[in-house]
Amino acid sequence: MASEQPQGGDRWVFGYGSLMWRPGFPFIDRRTAVLHGRRRAFCIYSVHHRGTYERPGLVLGLAPGGSVRGVAYRIAEAAWPEVYAYLREREQPTETYFEAWSKLRIDGDGEVPALVFLSDRAHGQWAGALTLEQQAELIAGARGLSGPNIDYLRDLVGHLREDGVRDHAMEALLKMVEARELKSSP
C-alpha cells in the first residue's frame, strides 16, 4: 500500500469523505479511485468540524481492512505547494490523521501514488470500531464549526449515491440518526 511521494510533476490526492464533494482546491482531473487495505468508517471523534470537546461528533477516517471507493484529484505541479498547504490546514486541525503516499487504482489510469490522510489509531480522537448504534448516538445532535454532524452524513450518503455507490451501512446509519433527531426535536 505504501508508495513514495512523486518528485516533481503532477500529484494525486485521494478523497473518501467531504473531499469527494467539496475539494476546495484547483485540480486538473477528477477520477473514481479505489484504495485497497483501508475502509471508510466513522472512527474519529470530531471536536472541531462536527462536534466539540464537550459534545464530540464523528467524522470519517480510513480504518484498516477492506477497500474504499472514493475520488482521486490530479493537481498540477505548479499548484501543488498551495494545495498541499490548504489540505494540511483543512485535514489536520487536531492532527488526527497521518499523511501517506499510497497506491490507488484509478479508473482509466491504472495505479498511481496519491496523498492519503490515514487515521492515526494512537491519537486520542481515534474512536475505533463502534457499532452503528454507538455511531448514531454520537452523530445525532452533535454540531461543530462546520455545522451539524448529520449534515456530513447526509452529504456522504447523497454523494455516494450520485457516484453510483450504495453503502448500505451508511444509509442505515443515516436512518438511525434521523430517527434520533426526530425524537429529540420539540
Half-sphere exposure in the Cβ direction for 131 (13 Å, CA): 4
Residue 81 CB neighbours (<10 A): 9
- State the catalytic residue, choosing from 54, 91, 111, 162: 91
CB 112 within 8 A of CB 103: yes
Q: How far apart are CA 131 and CA 20, in angstroms?
A: 25
Specify the DSSP element, H or E, that contains 14: strand 11-15
- For the question of residue 91 being annotated catalytic, the response is yes
Q: Do residues 167 and 157 lie in contact, with contact meaning Cβ atoms separated by under 8 Å?
A: yes
- What's the Cα-to-Cα distance from 36 to each of 11, 27, 33, 99, rounded to whole Å? 19, 23, 10, 16
Please report which helix (H) or strand (E) contains residue 171, including its range.
Answer: helix 168-184
| Residue 44 φ/ψ, nearest 5 degrees | -125, 125
**Residue 173 Cα to chain centre, angstroms:** 16
- Show which residues are catalytic: 91
